[in-house]
A and B are shown apart, each in its own frame.
Chain A
């Protein structure tokens, strides 16, 4: 449970601001409370919790910027924080064209918050875990995974008048169930821990595990595939990492070619911090309101996300996607949403005469950013699809594929979607996809 109220966080930020002797300043207060119960072989083997509050000060004066951060005894460290920031600022060379700190924009929006998650107890987490482990044990299987609950609050206050506070919660249950010769995977992520559906996770992971026993090798090459949302979120997440940032475009390392159709006309990807299917949060690390951005529309590259730095350089509106400034990473799309289709996920498999169903990708890495080529492995549930039905399991395969080219081969998109929450507060909402081809290499 968080130990400070919104008012206390804002007051702490105000106190830092008041201690700054000169120039402009921005203060970020982040408080985080995380608890996680981890299980293996149907037993709880790790069970942890942590709570912490950090203060970050960006000091701007005389064309120089300095940053300091203190976590631990934060309330008693204001003088030290200011001194460190001033020490950092003092050594930075003066810049003529330093962008001013953002001004307040007067907007607001929803936060994805649940008291049930923030107040979740270790006993409740153990109960959720027991639902999975008991079900697995009853089938003679072994379950592995984690159930976590997290509450975070963020206050941003600046000398230019920005004064924001927001909070969010995240809950997740992930499970691998293993049999004698194969395993399955399932997870659920939710703002509200009450929506984790441990029974549904147990049923799904056990069904996949029991189906995935005694896998045989499959041919490499281009296969028609149906990808589950666990796999699709890797494609969309990496697409964003590679190219949805204005800085990536500026530095000519993004695949985005504006107003050109690079993908199937059925592909739509947005960043929308207010979408209720995701994990809503209304502002970025500078306290600027985050606006919805259409990234891909009808397969056409439309826009990228900006922060105050890239927006000022490009002379366009700031979309409110800043990480803590200053940074060299650039803006970041934190609330990705892929448009759904109109058919049930089960019908996607029915539409494949011969292909593969992929439950999950693993260890995905970028091979060539400009061509959006990534590589990775399948894991815990790869199956043949034969005459529209899920068939025999196949051994895990390595893929090496261009995401853009794969998304140009979309033949079907499910109506159902799943939410995936990141440890950094980001979210991805994606459907099942039917692709006409996907390249497996070894």
Chain B
């Protein structure tokens, strides 16, 4: 792999590149899925190739090719150089990169049990047991459970001297129970929706999910939701479970702090941001209970690594400090616009796509409350669990989220299950109404495996540490 990267960089310099980097990536994925008692899919895949990025005549070019072969990599360089030259004539100013030290090193995701050392038979056993547990509830019409394991070996090399070798390992799993009646469809998931929860970890993460032990519970909840009363409507106190808090952070803090969005790079597609550079250090994003960080060093997160895909070391950056907007997710190019250093958040989807600013682990720091304390301190409100739908505008202000289920709270107690809950708000007003965040005991790292951004689209795996949190005077209602 190293030889291929060196040849690609030599070719780039010879072709006139003022900067070039090369990523050689080998990705192995195991996917297992059980649906309604049957093994629906056992799929094993390998994906390997080389991605080269060049700056020529002051413009960017990128080309990816599906061969780890020096001649193919050189051909990809020539394609990237031609692309860069074609676009450079439409640039108003040459690419400028913030300085970074040329690093060398290795990183490997720490795992207790290598998930690829666990037999496929054992993995299917877990899924079939989870399915059988869900099957005990007759109203459940569709039962789906899955596991995914990823091992990605990536080498990064640049003309500035960086040489970084990383092996990232991910383990994910989850299950959904869907109950139906003539006029309702209700799904409950464990540990999270979107198919699965995932971590940079080994098989131990799957054991901790205890899928079979939760099967009957979520199936029963899905069935109960069919006849539960609709979520109450009006302005009231809202308590989010940690999984929904994680998604709220993702959509309303993670994306708007991406500096490429702020500068307009994503204006035609993913959108822009309401968090402008002149607001740094002074804008009140949320209440003093709200501290948010981007932490690529946090154990277990899907955004945890040694270096980003520009060779910038993993960092912990404060985005919001006790409610005040403090920082961005940035790249070398976007950081240079603000005369700052990169916060190390450039990440690419495999070898075939160029790195973009992506979330690492965007975490809501734990507070000093607890879920039970928050409920006890609520006169009238709802406690919502597990995301069902999510939508937010292109500046990341106006949002509406739906959850799988809710509990109505009256006089400090849960009084009953409610179905089809929605809540909506405007980002700074919403976080400004946060008056409690649960403490470290209830704080967990969550994985989002479907974060889309860029053209062509890249799906990124990102992490969010979060705990249950409470918001006052929120617009809540039924779908």
Contact = CB atoms under 8 A, between A and B. Distances in A.
A434 B67 CA distance: 51
Interface residues of B, number: 83
A50 B64 contact: yes
A219 B303 CA distance: 41
Contacts of B457: 423
Interface centre among B39, B85, B93, B392 (most CB of A within 10 A): B39
Contacts of A423: 456-457
Contacts of A130: 90
Interface residues of A, number: 87
A351 B48 CA distance: 56
A129 B89 CA distance: 11
Contact of B398 (A45, A47, A396): A396
A396 B389 contact: no
Contacts of A92: 39, 42, 124
B368 interface: no
Given A72-B48, A363-B392, A367-B389, A66 B42 contact: yes
Nearest to B92: A43
Contacts of B93: 43
Given A68-B44, A178-B267, A39 B90 contact: yes
A152 to B, nearest CB: 13
A52 B49 contact: yes
B86 interface: yes
A5 interface: no
B60 A34 contact: no
A294 interface: no
B185 A369 contact: yes
Contact of A122 (B87, B120, B402, B420): B87
B373 interface: no
B350 to A, nearest CB: 9
B33 to A, nearest CB: 6
A72 B394 contact: no
Interface string B99-138: 0000000000000000000011100100000000000000
Interface string B12-55: 00000000000000100000010100111111111111010000
Interface of A: 34-54, 65-74, 77, 80, 84-85, 87-89, 91-93, 95, 121-123, 125-126, 129-130, 133, 142, 144-146, 148, 174-176, 178, 183, 185, 251-253, 326-328, 362-370, 373, 375-377, 379, 396, 398, 400, 423, 441-442
28 contacts: A37-B83, A40-B267, A40-B268, A44-B91, A46-B265, A46-B354, A48-B353, A48-B456, A67-B42, A68-B43, A69-B45, A69-B46, A72-B351, A84-B45, A84-B46, A91-B119, A130-B90, A133-B90, A253-B180, A253-B185, A328-B35, A362-B271, A365-B389, A367-B420, A368-B185, A375-B400, A377-B393, A398-B391
Given A47-B62, A148-B456, 11 more contacts: A37-B86, A41-B264, A44-B87, A49-B63, A87-B120, A93-B38, A121-B86, A126-B90, A176-B268, A178-B264, A398-B400
